């Protein structure tokens, strides 16, 4: 089955700096890669996603890049702000269908 690995497990950055989280996946049939932000005690919120026919996608301060050959994708947050502090989960579709396998999450702390 799909195995999604997420690194690093924790990341601290100074406010205004950039943060990068990387994920790798194992299933070559995976074709959908969403990123979720989860604040303590709340539901995960989709922040950006990318499909396998695209290499990069950007939405304001957030971008995602995908390398299908290497089977990894990354989340980039620029100009970080304290409200970006949360746990971020990457996910990959399983067998190219609508089920998702999640990474273990990354705790991002933005230091004011």
Judged by CB under 8 A, the chain residues 20 through 59 that form the site for another protein are 32, 34, 36, 42-46, 49
- Count of residues making up the chain: 112
Residue 27 DSSP SS3:
coil
62 within 8 A of 77, measured Cβ to Cβ = yes
- Choices 12-20, 56-64, 69-77, 101-109 (CB under 8 A): range interacting with another protein: 101-109
Q: Kindly state the smallest distance separating residue 9's Cβ from another protein, in Å.
A: 10
Residue 74 in contact with another protein, rule: CB under 8 A? no
CA distance 31 to 42: 27
**Distance (Å, rounded) from C-alpha 31 to C-alpha 17?**
30
Interaction between residue 99 and another protein (CB under 8 A): yes
Stretch that binds another protein, among 20-28, 61-69, 72-80, 99-107 (CB under 8 A): 99-107
């Amino acid at each position: 089955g799909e195995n999604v690995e997420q690194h690093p497990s924790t990341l601290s950055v100074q406010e205004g700096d950039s943060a990068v989280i990387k994920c790798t996946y194992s299933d070559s049939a995976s074709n959908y890669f969403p990123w979720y932000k989860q604040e303590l005690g709340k539901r995960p919120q989709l922040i950006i996603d990318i499909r396998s026919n695209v290499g990069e996608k950007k939405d304001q301060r957030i971008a995602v890049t995908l390398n299908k050959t290497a089977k990894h994708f990354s989340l980039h947050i620029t100009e970080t702000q304290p409200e970006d502090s949360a746990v971020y989960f990457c996910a990959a579709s399983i067998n190219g269908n609508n089920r998702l396998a999640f990474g273990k999450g990354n705790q991002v702390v933005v230091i004011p």
